[in-house]
Amino acid sequence: MKQRLNRLARLSLAAVVLAFVWQSSHASQKPSGVAAVRKSESKSKSKSKSKYVPVAEYDPRRDAAADIERAVAEAKRAKKNVLLEVGGKWCVWCRIMDAYFEANPDVLKLREDNYVTLKINFSPENENKEVIAKYGEVAGYPHIFVLDSKGKLIQSQGTGELEAGRSYDKEKFVGFLKKWSPTK
């Protein structure tokens, strides 16, 4: 147990340092990764007059049920599925997953082309127990629920199965995203 806590503390510190270094080195550059994809999405969405604003951060003040309702409506409009990422700002692996998508723009594009992604907060301030319970048990964080464009659960996925070392396995993550993408 003590070794696991030490590992988590090291990973947490490493994630914070990496985030700080990345943010500092990219502060004056053009948007890339998630920001660039979302910026290009907002341009294409403005043409189709979508008013949907993605929830890209874990926020205990948000109404998760209302956010899911809006994400499902957007998924229906855009012919996508919904990817619910359950976690929190406290979650080391949640930050690692964010960094993974930033570092893998092709995987990010696959996600953004096929899913409306929504972060659902789980923290002492707001556990969102009632909302999360609708979709099943969560054994660890982050946890992914995939909903179809009608809001029906089609997959519950622990992200531990997608990990490789101190990050995520590209082949597994791409396979997961492709498997649960909407049929177009």
DSSP string for 53-83: --B-S--TTS-HHHHHHHHHHHHHHHT-EEE
pLDDT at residue number 182: 96
Domain 30-179 class, CATH top level: alpha beta
Which ranges in the chain belong to alpha helices (H)?
Answer: 2-26, 33-48, 64-78, 92-103, 105-114, 129-133, 170-179
pLDDT in tens, 91-105: 999 999 999 999 999
pLDDT in tens, 50-104: 789 999 999 999 999 999 999 999 999 999 999 999 999 999 999 999 999 999 9
d(CA 155, CA 179) in angstroms, rounded, equals 10
Q: Is the model's pLDDT at 22 over the cut of 60?
A: no
Q: Is the model's pLDDT at 124 over the cut of 80?
A: yes
